Chain A
Amino acid sequence: MKGFIGEFEELVLLTIANLSKEAYGVAIMEDITHRANRKLSIGALHSTLTRLEEKGYITSFLGEPTAERGGRRKRYFELTQSAISALNDMKSLRDELWANSKINLSIQ
């Protein structure tokens, strides 16, 4: 296993998975803002993306120039295989913990 994934990093990875072909900076940011209802700065997001790329969980490529951004290109992100396995590890660990919980965790 290549290091741990933090909670926010997991959130970003899963968002990229959700957005699939449309995963670029602004899209990821807006998705997280709407879905998780939390405010985040663009700087923090890009820092996390850079870290994830360093760790080898995502790769990035530049797309076509877009008129909307004054002809500037978007950087798209994709999950790597190691990200998928790390997400799986995380999920199974979680499932196991939920299943073994001695207290009833369901909300009445």
Chain B
Amino acid sequence: MRQPPKLATKIFEWLCGTAFIEDLKGDVDELFLHNVASKGLLRAQFIYWKQILSLGFSYSLKKRKQAVSYSHFYSPNRFTMLSNYLKISVRNLKNQKAFTLLNIIGLSMGMSIAVLALAMLVELHKFDEFHQDAHRIYRINTIVEKDGNKEIFASTPPRLSQLLTDQVPQLESSVMINDQFSAEIQTDRSDIRVEGYITEPLFLETFDFPLQAGSRFALNEPNSVIITAELASKIFGETSALNQTLPTEKWGQLKVGGVLATFPERTHFMFDLLIGPGSISGFKDQSIHNQWTNFYGNYCYFKLAEGYSKDKFLSQVESISAEGANYFNEETRKATYRIQSLQDINPSEDIEDETGCIFERSGFWLFFGISLLILLPACFNYINMSVARALKRSKEIGIRKVLGSQRRQIIEQFLVETTIVALISTVLAVYIFQLIKIEFTSTLAAGSALSLDISFEMVLVFLLFALVTGLLTGAVPALYFAKISPLSALKSSVSDGKVSISGIRKGLLIAQFALTLIFMIGIGALLQQYRHSLTYNLGFSKENVLVIPFDKEKQELFRTELMANPDVNSVSFSSSIPGTNLNHRAFAYFEDLQDSMRFYNVDIDDSFIANMNLRMKWGTPPTGKGSQIPEVAVNEEFMKDLKLINPEADSLLVQLHDEKVRITGVVVNYNHEPLNSRIYPMMLRHTDQAPYALVSIASSDLVQTMSSLETSWDRLFPNQTFAATFLQDEIEKAYDFFRVALKIFGFLAFLAITISSLGLLGMVIYATENRTKEVAVRKILGANKFELLKALAGMFFKLWAVAIAIGIPIAYVFYDFALIRMYNKFSEGVGFIEIALSVLITVGLGTSAILWQTNKIIRINPAINLRNE
């Protein structure tokens, strides 16, 4: 058979669509046969392909296609059609009030978290935009490589920035910032802790932080600072702060040489005050070695001249930084540099030693993922419900099609409808977002820098989001309806009488139920863990113990004073409140070995171990009396590590960095730190000066005891306020992150449950409404309530069962893993009770939605139902 290539013919037909091409095809076929006879099959086929392509994209075909696609009735004015779509959509939405309402509420809840994430993204991209020439400001990151590990630091060696400033004329300005300044400002009421930048006047020239009083050159004068408007009003209130003094213990009297005006919060800089390098003794006199390798907390910002490119600057940096290579080599490290634009700082990648307020990208994506997890079920619901409504709308679609509606027009109709719903939902979602944003920012570490006020850009992003959501969600029902043949649509055979909830829709419902379950179990597990952490036996007695911070110089005086009180059982002192985080790290060394081991140091008095009911495994508690060598007690973990490093040693002497100590006792491991931390090696060291008094009281009248304690306090420390708290409250405070997690989980679970309940309700309404007649007939034939319920709602209960079977194992594995990772061995894992309770609550909510609707249908008098049609 001498046939032209089939593929080419297919492609041609596909290109032509419905256009009339009989004659064209005849022409190419005829030519093909000629060519086969004269030039051979292969060549003929080649020519055929060429001809097909030339015809396929020719003007004549385009013209023919236009001729078939435009009828005389077709209006070229797109707006006529659009207004028609809008009108029909609005009528349809009004007609289906219950569905519309369910959809809008569900979608708006689903969108609220996504809106929050988008608002945050928009805001982060505007960070530090308010500085003039922000696009020309860069900073240098240091990439340090050691043993094959690469770490990026936001900070820069001070020596490098000095060399760059001196040698590169194209730098319009270069600012060095050191963020290691902190001080306690003493005021009448209490000390205010402030953090600041050590920098030069150029800082205020390069960045737009306007001064409301004073001069930026105040930074050149010793002991003179520039403070922010917030700090000024906090300390001085209404009175002018300029030229006042700030007393500090560490830095002496600091004079206020300038006050900044309030500036937009959207900056990554976070400081309360600025101070010149001249005020800090020994700030600059470091060896060159240290100026290269010791760059922690030292940042350099450069404003490049117009037209001086980032790449040229980078090559300059690379050549100038050659000097430092040797110094890094001495420490077997290797440093390279890169340029980071001011506007790329937020949201940032994972960078070490950051300054100010930084939002990491990875956390951000996680947040986006969660928002999608909430949004998707809402979209599924919409799709589910619209497709389920096919029965009701099939006549409309059928008539439209018969009247000549094209596929595209049906699709557009549905897309317009969904977009309207999505737009309304977005407005509601933005409202919800306004309600939750303050709660949200308060749970973030750097949240105070986010104002999340609605801006023009945000509105644009929200609109775009609404459109995208609308179009994507609408696509499924639109394509579904466009596919229906007009004949079957008019005959109502689309979903012929039967309540067909297809496999996919069942799958979606199950996924939703399972997701809801997982969130609910999460709440249950967190609540249980919170309770568990608070009641866990930490290994020391925490009941009825007061924690009183005091001036540690007067430890023994304070003890005598306290013991004189009849309600006080015992008093002990410690440098750290047991049950809270430890931060005093120290190292022990071994003489012959290079090795060292790390441990936590806690200073205690003689009675701490006895009073806190710590159990001794061996030996006696350390005392301050006796031998020259200080005595310490250690925990079991310490001994374990000690043996690991130095198994031979039988001496109880331990070399610390400046002295030797002797171990006199070993205490049984106890949780000095919160349960999310392992038990680390710990050394309890005797001291006469510990800043916390732990007072065990036995009181029948707490108010009276407290006031008598306060009286004795006032005798000893007349100028200081008495601040006693219960140890249990302090421990509870260490678990505050639980409350944050509970709040977040609670809200997410609330959204997930509402959305899935709404979706369920929609499906039940649909399933029951289409079966009113069936129910009536069944009832007349004598079915009882239970049988009817089984017939109507049986499927949903089956779906629940599947969802439970899927959701529980996932939730169990997920939380058990997450919790055990967080809690090490102190957690009991996820228990049966919390899972059972969570499941019960979720299923209960879902069941009530099902029963509510089915009951409504079942209760109707069958006569009325039957008369309806």
Interface residues of A (CB under 8 A from B): 24-26, 29, 41-44, 46-47, 49-51, 54, 62, 66, 68-70, 72-75
B530 to chain A: closest CB distance in Å? 76
Of the candidates B27, B50, B56, B59, the one having the most CB atoms from chain A within 10 angstroms of its own CB is: B27
Q: Is the interface of A mostly helix, strand, loop or mixed?
A: helix
Indicate if the CB atoms of A43 and B26 lie closer than 8 Å: no
* Complex contact B57–A43 (CB within 8 A): yes
The interface residues of chain A lying within 8 Å CB-to-CB of B54 are: 41-44
Given A26-B31, A43-B54, A68-B30, A73–B23 Cβ distance below 8 Å?
yes
| CB pair B58 A74 closer than 8 Å | no
Min CB distance, A36 to chain B, in Å? 18
* A47-B26 in contact given A41-B51, A42-B51, A68-B33 (Cβ < 8 Å): no
Interface size for B (C-beta < 8 A) is: 25
Q: Which chain B residues border A68 with CB–CB below 8 Å?
A: 30, 33
Q: Can you sample 18 A-B contacts with CB below 8 Å?
A: A25-B24, A25-B27, A42-B27, A42-B28, A42-B31, A42-B51, A42-B55, A43-B54, A43-B57, A43-B61, A46-B27, A46-B61, A49-B60, A50-B59, A54-B63, A62-B22, A69-B29, A70-B29
Chain B residues near A73: list those with CB within 8 A.
22-23, 26
> Per-residue CB proximity of B18-55 to A under 8 Å, as 1/0?
00001111111111011000000000000000110111
Closest to A76 in B: B23
Question: Is A47 a contact partner of B59 (Cβ separation < 8 A)?
Answer: yes
Instruction: Please tell me which one of the listed residues B26, B31, B59, B64 contacts residue A72 in the complex, with CB atoms under 8 A apart.
Output: B26
Q: Which residue of A lies closest to B56 (CB)?
A: A43
Given contacts A41-B50, A68-B33, contact A46 B26 (CB under 8 A): no
In whole angstroms, how far apart are the Cα atoms of A26 and B24 in the complex?
10
The closest CB in chain B to the CB of A72 belongs to B26
- Chain B positions within 8 Å of A46 at CB level: 24, 27, 55, 58, 60-61
**A residues less than 8 Å from B50 (CB atoms):** 41
B residues near A (Cβ < 8 Å) are: 22-31, 33-34, 50-51, 53-61, 63-64
In the assembly, what is the distance between CA of A74 and CA of B27, in Å? 8
Pairs A-B, 9 closest by C-beta atoms: A43-B54, A72-B26, A43-B58, A75-B23, A47-B59, A50-B60, A25-B27, A69-B26, A46-B60
Question: Is the CB–CB distance between B51 and A72 below 8 Å?
Answer: no
Nearest Cβ on chain B to A57's Cβ, whole angstroms: 15
Q: What CA separation (Å) do A53 and B120 show in the bound complex?
A: 61
In the bound complex, how far is the Cα of B33 from the Cα of A26, in angstroms?
12
Whether A25 contacts B23 by the Cβ 8 Å rule is: yes
- Within the complex, which residue of A29, A44, A54, A74 is in contact with B26, where a contact is CB–CB below 8 Å? A74
The answer, among A43, A54, A69, for a CB contact under 8 Å with B30, is A69
Which residue of chain A has the shortest Cβ distance to B64 in the bound complex?
A50
B65 to A: closest C-beta gap in Å: 12
Which residues of chain A come closer than 8 Å to B28, judged between CB atoms?
A: 42
A75 to chain B, nearest CB (A): 4
Cα A26 to Cα B63 with chains together (Å): 20
Kindly list 7 other residue pairs between chains A and B, CB separation below 8 angstroms, not including A25-B26, A46-B27, A73-B22: A24-B27, A25-B27, A42-B51, A42-B55, A43-B60, A46-B60, A74-B26
The complex places the Cα of A69 from the Cα of B50 at a distance, in Å, of: 19
Complex alpha-carbon distance, A45 and B565, angstroms? 114
CA distance A6 to B29 in the complex (A): 29
With A and B bound together, what is the CA distance between A43 and B50 in angstroms? Answer: 9
A42→B47 CA distance, assembly (Å):
10
Distance of B1 from chain A, by nearest CB (Å): 12
Tell me the complex Cα distance, A31–B56, Å.
23
Q: Are B63 and A72 in contact, with the CB atoms below 8 A?
A: no
The CA-CA distance from A1 to B359 in the complex, in Å, is 73
When chains A and B are docked, how far (Å) is the Cα of A78 from the Cα of B705? 119
Give the complex CA separation of A24 and B34 in angstroms: 15
Give complex CA distance A60, B51 in Å.
Answer: 22
In chain B, what residue has the closest Cβ to A71? B26
